[in-house]
């Protein structure tokens, strides 16, 4: 029996059409996909069905509630297909890939997110190549995790980030090697795959208001944090700090407000503003102060992965203490606690 893949179309540039206000999401993508793939006449490609979400979104409009909806559709169809492709806008694709990786742990099939920088209806679009290869991976190769496939690169979803708004090679995983590369020949680095599991699904409903993200900068006002914790239902803060996880240790007001938040049971999770490298809160005095007040290190996680992990754990209604413990442990390959040095260029 020929293998079969489910394509879930959520919206994004790949299916957009031109309008008087610019590109907008549009329904009816399946007929366009069928037309393109029929012309390719590649009999090795798995069969596919396509589901369109009822409300398609420009991914700039993505909300945490959409992660729940996407995961629910995948889980409800899990045992009817050999793999899954999620068509998604590029702006927030790394957030969705990360969120799905926490909800869908221990997979025995591939979940591949892809999209395009140029709509499928346009000349020289990157849409068909991305879609064709994503279907091939999802149906013909078992990569048992949530991935992003884009422009020849197969990346772990929760290690990925969007690097360019204009180039076709839009995504990379700065602190982890690629899982695969579409070159001649196609290369899969299966030694890096997560272990195939027995489908541990935890799909909680997310609250939009539980987590805030604050990026530090010279002149940062600590009152921004104070306002967030005093006037909203915030339960977690992702702090984007300098370099290896540093803050101004001369800013006693900032330190006091962070400690006040932690004492209230608000989890503070520290990630670096740098794409490459990691947080090490014990190297500089301006970082070790965070250890003393109970800020959790995000190690080498991406901002997208850190935000969605904190969202996920809080949505599971865990205690602040247990959330902090889980933040320090890899749930789905999202962090390296002890970091080897990878040379991406020479890895394959």
Annotated binding site for substrate, which residues? 59, 90-91
Does the bond joining 185 to the residue before it have cis omega, within 30 degrees of 0?
yes
User: Given the DSSP bridges, would you call strands 187-188 and 200-201 parallel, antiparallel or unpaired?
Assistant: unpaired
Distance, CA of 265 to CA of 147 (rounded, Å): 33
Q: Which residue in the list 10, 72, 90, 92 is annotated as catalytic?
A: 90
Write phi, then psi, for 145 (nearest 5 degrees): -165, 175
Q: What are the Cα distances from residue 30, in Å, to 10, 44, 75, 274?
A: 12, 20, 22, 39
**Contacts (Cβ under 8 Å, ≥6 apart) of 82:** 3, 4, 5, 46, 109, 138, 139
Distance, CA of 22 to CA of 176 (rounded, Å): 36
CA atoms within 13 A on the CB side of 14: 32
Q: For the chain, what percentages of helix, strand and coil (3-state, to nearest 5) are there?
A: 35, 20, 45
Known catalytic membership, residue 13: yes
Binding site members: 59, 90-91
Known catalytic membership, residue 308: no
Distance, CA of 317 to CA of 308 (rounded, Å): 15
Write phi, then psi, for 308 (nearest 5 degrees): -75, -30
Tokens 């009816």: give the residue: 28
Asked if 146 contacts 313 with a C-beta cutoff of 8 angstroms, the reply is no
Work out the number of other CB atoms within 10 angstroms of the CB of residue 199: 15
Question: The tokens of 17 are what?
Answer: 């059409």
307 DSSP 8-state letter: H
Q: What are the Cα distances from residue 301, in Å, to 62, 86, 244, 309, 336?
A: 21, 23, 12, 10, 8
Query: Hey, which residues are catalytic here?
Result: 13, 90
């Amino acid at each position: 029996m020929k293998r079969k893949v489910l394509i879930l179309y959520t919206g994004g540039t790949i299916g957009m059409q031109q309008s008087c206000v610019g590109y907008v999401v549009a329904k009816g993508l399946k007929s366009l996909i069928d037309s393109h793939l029929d012309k390719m006449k590649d009999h090795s490609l798995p069969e596919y069905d396509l589901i369109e979400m009822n409300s398609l979104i420009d991914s700039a409009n993505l909300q945490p509630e959409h992660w729940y909806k996407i995961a629910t559709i995948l889980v409800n169809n899990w045992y009817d297909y050999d793999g899954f492709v999620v068509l998604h806008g590029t702006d927030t694709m790394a957030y969705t890939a990360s969120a799905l990786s926490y909800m869908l742990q221990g997979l025995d099939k591939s979940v591949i997110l892809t999209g395009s920088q140029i709509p499928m209806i346009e000349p020289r679009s990157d849409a068909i190549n991305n879609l064709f290869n994503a279907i091939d991976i999802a149906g013909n190769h078992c990569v048992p995790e949530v991935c992003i496939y884009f422009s020849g690169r197969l990346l772990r979803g929760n290690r990925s980030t969007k690097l360019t708004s204009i180039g076709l090679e839009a995504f990379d995983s700065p602190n982890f090697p690629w899982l695969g590369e579409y070159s001649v020949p196609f290369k899969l680095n299966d030694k890096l795959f997560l272990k195939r599991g027995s489908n541990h699904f935890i799909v909680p409903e997310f609250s939009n208001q539980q987590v805030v993200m604050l990026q530090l900068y010279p002149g940062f006002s600590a009152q921004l944090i104070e306002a967030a914790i005093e006037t909203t239902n915030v339960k977690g803060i992702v702090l984007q700090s300098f370099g290896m996880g540093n803050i101004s240790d001369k800013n006693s007001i900032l330190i006091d407000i962070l400690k006040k938040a932690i004492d209230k049971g608000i989890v503070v999770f520290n990630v670096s503003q740098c794409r490459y490298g990691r947080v090490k809160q014990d190297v500089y005095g301006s970082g070790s102060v965070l250890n003393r007040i109970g800020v959790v290190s995000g190690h080498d996680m991406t901002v997208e992965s850190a935000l969605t992990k904190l969202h996920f754990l809080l949505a599971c209604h865990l205690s602040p203490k247990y959330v902090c413990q889980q933040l320090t442990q890899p749930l789905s390959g999202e962090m390296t606690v002890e970091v080897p040095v990878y040379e991406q260029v020479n890895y394959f």
